[in-house]
Structure 1
Amino acid sequence: MEDWKKNLYILTASVFIVMSGMTMIIPFLPLYLQELGVTGHREVTIWAGLITGINFFSAFLVSPLWGRLADKHGRRLMVLRSGFGMAIVMVLMGFATGPWSLFFFRLLNGTISGFNPASIALVSTNTPKQHVGYALGILQAGSVAGTISGPLFGGLMAEVFGFRTIFNITGLFVAIAAVTVLLFVKEDFTRPETEEKTSTWQDFKKVAAIQPIPFIFVLVFIIQFSLIGLNPMVSLLVDELSGGTNSAFFAGLAVSVMGFANMTASPKLGKLTDRKGAQYVLFGSLIGAAVFSIPQAFVTELWQLIVMRFLVGLCLGGLLPAANTLIRKLSPNGMESRTYGFSNSFLFLGSMFGSMAGGLIASAVGIRGLFLIAALLQVIGVFIIYYRVIPKLREKRGCSSG
């Protein structure tokens, strides 16, 4: 088997394990906070939001730094740093003595996290360019599968082992994934002979000067904000449509069916990206996401919502892999990981602001209005691709052929 394929399959399995572990705590986080002494519904809700959000915020801040180190020392090293670091922090979370200590460990986790983004950078830079779309689609499928499975595993295991033990188990599995990468993943990396002393801001200006990279960063933010960050609000509409009967189950189903569709479509749309061009897959997928987001504001039956979520999930499978493929092709030589680092910062911002703004928007315009605003953002993204991304790429192709 070719090295790039072996790396891809091992990293996909490792990403599945890590993403499962990272999402295991979602079902019982409020309950764990109560065990740590937080009382009252309002206090638990506030602490849960803070502890969830601080992870994204710290990851947003340090992502460019890890990208810089990856370009200097190799992407595989960043995967290992993140894997072993998160394994230790996950175990420490099981020894939290109160909400502040758990808050600190989540802050630390976000600071050293980045297993999935580092794996994307490693796969994209060590895969032949004609197969990058397919490879990133497979990796995306592994990530989404882990995100779907994690809450299910976490909920079941918490019932059997208790909350604190879950953190130890999760840390162990993340460590196993890191050891697997250490033993079996190889990277074709040549350290730069000359090291240019630049600041993060100088690096960003150099990357952003390459068109249409800044617009792709904006698209990543829009995708994450409108399709991922707003996910927690779906449970409110599920509760309304189900009449309060089995709301938790159906809310989980509505999120899971979107993830399952994403996982199924990612490899196929990745192959299409390699054949037709990432910009066209990105364009078509975002149109589809907008079209299927609008009816969610008008559904009257639960099954209608679930069908629409499934169709949106199919479109989502082509969005981030296509965006990452474009970033790989456009990033300056020797700055691939830094470019991904900046892109990941926009992604984490989308997750953070989507989670924070979802509640505010829903309180102002209602949960159904939330879907219309999400669709509006996606339509804006469609115009950005049509008027900014595709023309710029055509200009580049014309210049290179000329």
Structure 2
Amino acid sequence: MINWKKNLYILTVSIFIVMAAMTMIVPFLPLYLQELGVTDPAKVSTWAGLIFGINFFSAFLVSPFWGRLADKRGRRLMVLRSGFGMAIVMILMGFATGPWSLFFFRLLNGTISGFNPASIALISTNTPKEYVGQALGILQAGAVAGSICGPLFGGLMAEIVGFRMIFNITGIFIALAAFTVLIFVKEDFTPPQNEEKTSTKQDFKTIAAIKPIPSIYVIIFLIQFGLVGVNPLVSLYVEELSAGMNSAFFAGLAVSSMGFANMLASPKLGKWSDRKGAQYVLYGSLIGAAIFSIPQAFVTELWQLIGMRFFTGLCLGGLLPAANTLIRKLAPEGMESRTYGFSNSFLFLGNMLGPMIGGFIAGFAGIRSLFIISALLLFIGVITMRKQVLPVLDNR
């Protein structure tokens, strides 16, 4: 087997394991807080929001630093650093004594996390450029499959072994994924010789001077902000549409339908990126995601919401893989991981602000308004592609 394919398949399985393990805690985090002594419902909601958000905030801050280290020491090392680091922190979360200690562990987890971004950087730099889109599509399919299965496994296991044991199991699975990478994944990496020392600010200026990288960063932020901001409130919307009947099951179905479609579409759209151009796949996927977001604000039946979420998920499968493919092709030689590092900061910023601001907007304008706002943000991405990205890439 060609070495890059071997790396791709092993990392896809490893990412599936890591994402499944990381998302196992999603269904029961508020319940775990109650076990830690937080009994007031308002305080549980506040702590749950803070503990979820702090992970993305710390990841947003440190991502450029890990990107720079990856360019100097290798991307495989960053995958291993993240895998073993998260394994230790997840086990420690099972020994939390209160909300503050859990908050600290989530802060630490965001600081040392980055298994997925590091894997993307490793695959994109060690895969022939004509296959990068396909490889990143397959990698995303593995990540999405893990994020679909994780909450299901976590919910079932919490009933059997309890909340604290879930963190220990999660840590063990992440460690197994890291050991798999350690043993089987190889990297073609030559450390830079006599490289000039630069600051993070200088690195960003160098990368941002290459058009249209800044515009792609903005589009990545809009994708995460617009689509992720809706996700935490889908369960409330489902409850409204189902009149409270089996709302938990249908909420899971609505979220899973989008993830399942994403998983199906990512590899195919990745191939199209290699054949037709990643910029056109990104452009078309943005248009599709924006169009399918609008009807979700006006549905009257649950099956309509699930159907529209499925079609949105098909478009989502072409967004981030295509954007990452473009970043790989545009990144300065020797600064690939730093370019991805800044990209990941924009992604984490969208992950953090989307749910926070989305919840605030839903509080005074209603949940349905979020889908309109999501569509508007995605259409801004379409305009950005049309004005700032396509003309530059078409002239290269």
Letter in 1 for 2:293: S
Quote the Cα distance in structure 2 between the aligned partners of 1:355 and 1:228. 7
1:22 paired to 2:25: no
Letter in 1 for 2:303: W
1:222 paired to 2:222: yes
Alignment match, 2:246: 246
Alignment match, 1:183: 183
Q: What secondary structure, in the 3-state scheme, does the structure 2 residue paired with 1:338 have?
A: helix
Quote the Cα distance in structure 2 between the aligned partners of 1:198 and 1:22. 34
Alignment match, 2:140: 140
Deviations 1:233-267 (A, max 9, x none): 11121111000111111111100110000000000
Alignment match, 2:381: 381
Alignment match, 2:365: 365
Letter in 2 for 1:59: A
Letter in 1 for 2:105: F
The 5 Å alignment of 1:217-366 reads 217-366=217-366
Alignment match, 2:50: 50
Letter in 2 for 1:123: I
Letter in 2 for 1:305: L
Quote the Cα distance in structure 1 between the aligned partners of 2:291 and 2:47. 36
Alignment match, 1:6: 6
Deviations 1:29-79 (A, max 9, x none): 000000000011100000000000000000000000000000000000000
Deviation for aligned residue 1:358: 1.0
Quote the Cα distance in structure 2 between the aligned partners of 1:49 and 1:365. 20
Quote the Cα distance in structure 2 between the aligned partners of 1:286 and 1:364. 27
Quote the Cα distance in structure 1 between the aligned partners of 2:134 and 2:339. 20
Deviation for aligned residue 1:394: 1.9
Quote the Cα distance in structure 2 between the aligned partners of 1:290 and 1:77. 38
Quote the Cα distance in structure 2 between the aligned partners of 1:235 and 1:94. 27
TM-score (norm 2): 0.99
Quote the Cα distance in structure 1 between the aligned partners of 2:371 and 2:234. 9
What are the ranges of 5 or more consecutive residues in structure 2 without an aligned counterpart?
A: none
Quote the Cα distance in structure 1 between the aligned partners of 2:299 and 2:120. 36
Quote the Cα distance in structure 1 between the aligned partners of 2:60 and 2:178. 22
Quote the Cα distance in structure 2 between the aligned partners of 1:15 and 1:124. 15
Letter in 2 for 1:332: P
The 5 Å alignment of 1:134-213 reads 134-213=134-213
Quote the Cα distance in structure 2 between the aligned partners of 1:272 and 1:194. 39
Deviations 1:90-116 (A, max 9, x none): 000000000000000000000000000
TM-score (norm 1): 0.98
Letter in 2 for 1:10: I
Quote the Cα distance in structure 1 between the aligned partners of 2:4 and 2:229. 32
1:63 paired to 2:67: no
Quote the Cα distance in structure 2 between the aligned partners of 1:162 and 1:369. 38
Q: What secondary structure, in the 3-state scheme, does the structure 2 residue paired with 1:198 have?
A: coil
Letter in 2 for 1:340: Y
Quote the Cα distance in structure 1 between the aligned partners of 2:237 and 2:172. 37
Q: What secondary structure, in the 3-state scheme, does the structure 1 residue paired with 2:281 have?
A: helix
Letter in 1 for 2:288: G
Quote the Cα distance in structure 2 between the aligned partners of 1:61 and 1:196. 23
Deviations 1:185-216 (A, max 9, x none): 00000000112111001100100000000000
Letter in 1 for 2:103: F
What are the ranges of 5 or more consecutive residues in structure 1 without an aligned counterpart?
A: 398-402
Quote the Cα distance in structure 1 between the aligned partners of 2:53 and 2:228. 14
Deviation for aligned residue 1:230: 2.0
State the number of aligned residues: 396
Q: Which runs of 4+ in 1 moved over 6 A?
A: none
Q: Which moved more, 1:189-198 or 1:302-311?
A: 189-198
Deviations 1:322-368 (A, max 9, x none): 00000000000000000000000000000000010111111122111
Quote the Cα distance in structure 1 between the aligned partners of 2:103 and 2:30. 13
Quote the Cα distance in structure 1 between the aligned partners of 2:244 and 2:185. 48
The alignment-based identity, stated in percent, is 78
> RMSD of the alignment, in Å?
0.5
Quote the Cα distance in structure 2 between the aligned partners of 1:359 and 1:263. 27
Quote the Cα distance in structure 2 between the aligned partners of 1:203 and 1:364. 41
